[in-house]
Amino acid sequence: MTPNPILKVLSTFQKFGVRALLIGGQACIIYGAAEFSRDSDFVILHNLANISRLKKALRFLKARNIYFPPLTRQFLEKGHACHFRCYEESVKGLRVDVIAKLRNCPSFEELWERKKTFKLPGNKRVEIIGLEDLVQSKKTQRDKDWLMLDRLITNDILITKSPTTQKIRWWLSQCRDAGQLIELAARYKKLAVEVAVERPLVKAALKKDNRTLQQLIQKEETIEREKDKKYWQPLRKELELLRHKKGSVH
């Protein structure tokens, strides 16, 4: 994770008592799936008290609202992301994005229950979205998110020495590398048969049918990309109207 600027944002949020979880590229770095990210993204609790604390933290960071929409509970409730650029000297130029709802993911309260806390040097800590929820949040229409999703799962398989039954089930339900999924199905055949009920393409992995499996994995991704497009379509339309209204005023 980028040392100084991101840590400054995290410590500022903690100083003002903002309930937020790190997501996006910086979260991927911590989980070992990315090497670099310029921005810091957060999912936040969107009640009035927490939004008030967030605004105080952003003022401390001399953050300015960029793009649309403004930071209000109304827009966060609808699922919009709010974007800021920091101008305080130690974080100058850093972009901070906040959102209250993630498509494919449960409420903030549930995300908070499943969060991971990582200790950092200097007695600091970072509250981060859980791995499974992070993977779900990456099922978007963007190519780079699917790349990160693949890396997150592959890395987790590589570093987990003694996986629980729950963990293995998750791998079988989410793994998108055909070769790796075939290996998992062969190693954990009984669990693979059970998971295939919810994710039928695992049947192709059990049959070691690599070609069919690759096609089914791609189809699964295409469906998720389309769902994401439909989810954001009305939100983007609303942003277009906001831009138009602002333009009309000037």
Using one digit for the tens of pLDDT, what is the confidence trace for 110-146?
A: 999 999 998 877 777 899 999 999 999 999 999 999 9
Structure confidence at residue 7 as a pLDDT band (50, 70, 90) = confident
As a whole-number percent, the residues of the chain with pLDDT over 90 amount to 84
Are the C-beta atoms of 9 and 96 separated by less than 8 Å?
Answer: yes
Say which amino acid occupies 137: S
Predicted local distance difference test score (pLDDT) of residue 202: 98
Are the C-beta atoms of 40 and 24 separated by less than 8 Å?
Answer: yes
The alpha-helical segments, DSSP class H, found in 67-188 are 73-78, 108-113, 131-137, 143-159, 165-174, 178-187
**Stretch 29-36: mean pLDDT:** 83
Task: Tell whether pTM > 0.95.
Answer: no
**Stretch 94-116: mean pLDDT:** 96
Predicted local distance difference test score (pLDDT) of residue 67: 83
